[in-house]
């Protein structure tokens, strides 16, 4: 029980949480704690003061004006069950169901998954594909950034001291039959694993089945979750034939920079993420 924590503050509103964070610049916000408690115990992160966001009113999902907004402390379970999110970003709903196992999903939050900034964060590739933005609030004011700007390295974000993730905003896609979207990950088993490689895709198809626009984002194969721009550009305007799929996998190698670690060697990650892209393209071709 050796967490080096001396105080836990429990603000009753978001405004109070922002104020408390300003008063304690070295405090860490805690929501689900599924990453943070383990890191505090292992000494990988340290904080004298935790600010518990569970009472700050940050668990919500709203859909209006073409935007689905998800509060920072919304759980994976709530996201996976949300009709709004299954409609607007099915890949995010699928990814939320693959974070840890169900007890983790009942507790882990979207804001926490992003703020933790793991290269393997499963919710990041779907949100990158959806071109989501993040609403950040501190006592000094608020700002809205693209999710791609949030991550600055493994475990590192551009969050300023005292700044909280209030919500994540997803532009609602025009729901067309011709859009194919999904998320897949590779690991030793389905549940309770950290992704060895993950991939989210959104393909908009033309009437003849070729790809009008491709969006692909990958996790666990670079210092942060990233969009696969080279593969996307190659795929635009092409039909997902076997030859195109092979060539797309080659272009994907330029988008990534995987490393060897305890979970997998870099070469395996290159193969695995290529297979994920190939499967996504094959499914798109099969309709």
Partner 1 sequence: MARDRNRTDKPGKGVTRRGFLGTVGAGAVAAVTGLPRPGEAVPEITEPKGMVETALSINGRMHRLLVEPRWTLLFVLREQMGITGTKIGCARGECGACTVLMDGSPRYACMTLALEAQGHEITTVEGLMDGEELGDVQQAFVEEDAFQCGYCTAGQVVAAQGLLAANPSPTVDEIRAGMAGNLCRCGAYVHIFRAVERAAKGRGKGGGR
Q: Which residues bind partner 1 (CB under 8 A)?
A: 1-8, 10, 30, 33-34, 37-38, 41, 50, 52, 54-55, 77, 100-104, 106-107, 190-192
Contact of 96 with 109, CB cutoff 8 Å: no
Distance, CA of 229 to CA of 251 (rounded, Å): 9
Q: What are phi and psi of 61, to 5 degrees?
A: -135, 120
Q: Which is nearer to partner 1, 30 or 284 (CB)?
A: 30
Q: CB of residue 79 vs partner 1: minimum separation in angstroms?
A: 15
Distance CA 232, CA 13 (A): 42
CA 9-160-26 angle, 5° bins: 40
Q: Least CB distance from residue 125 to partner 1, whole Å? A: 21
Q: C-beta of 21: minimal distance to partner 1 in Å?
A: 17
Output DSSP code: residue 34. Answer: T
3-class DSSP string for 179-224: EEEEEEEECCCCCCCCCCEEEEEEEEECCCCCEEEEEEEEECCCCC
Paired sense of beta strands 49-52 and 28-30, if any: parallel
Q: How far is the CB of 229 from partner 1 (least distance, A)?
A: 34
Nearer Cβ to partner 1, position 14 or 234?
14
CB nearer partner 1, residue 7 or residue 160:
7
> In terms of CB distance, is 6 or 65 closer to partner 1?
6
Phi-psi region of 247 (alpha: psi -120 to 50; beta: other; left: phi over 0): alpha
- Which of 2/286 has CB closer to partner 1? 2
CB of 11 to partner 1, least distance (A): 13
Closest CB 41 distance from partner 1, rounded Å: 7
């Amino acid at each position: 029980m050796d967490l080096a924590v001396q105080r836990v503050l429990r603000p009753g509103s978001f405004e109070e949480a922002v104020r408390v964070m300003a008063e304690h610049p070295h405090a860490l916000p805690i929501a689900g704690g599924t990453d943070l408690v383990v890191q505090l115990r292992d000494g990988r992160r340290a904080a004298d003061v935790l600010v518990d966001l569970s009472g700050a009113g940050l668990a919500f999902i709203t859909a209006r004006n073409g935007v689905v907004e998800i509060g920072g402390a919304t759980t994976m379970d709530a996201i996976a069950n949300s009709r709004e999110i299954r409609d607007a970003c099915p890949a995010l709903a699928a990814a939320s169901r693959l974070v840890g196992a169900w007890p983790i999903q009942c507790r882990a939050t979207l804001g926490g998954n992003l703020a933790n900034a793991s290269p393997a964060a499963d919710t990041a590739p779907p949100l990158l594909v959806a071109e989501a933005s993040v609403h950040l609030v501190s006592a000094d004011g608020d700002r809205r950034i693209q999710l791609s700007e949030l991550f600055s390295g493994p475990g590192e974000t551009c969050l300023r001291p005292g700044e909280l993730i209030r919500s994540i905003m997803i532009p609602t896609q025009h729901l067309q039959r011709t859009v194919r979207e999904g998320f897949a990950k590779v690991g030793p088993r389905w549940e309770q694993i950290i992704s060895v490689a993950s991939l989210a895709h959104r393909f908009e198809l033309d009437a003849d089945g070729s790809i009008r626009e491709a969006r692909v984002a990958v996790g666990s194969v670079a210092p942060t979750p990233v969009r696969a721009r080279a593969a996307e550009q190659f795929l635009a305007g092409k039909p997902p034939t076997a030859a195109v799929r092979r060539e797309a996998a080659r272009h994907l190698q330029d988008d990534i920079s995987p490393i060897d670690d305890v979970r997998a060697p870099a070469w395996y990650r290159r193969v695995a993420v290529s297979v994920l892209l190939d499967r996504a393209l094959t499914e798109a071709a099969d309709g």
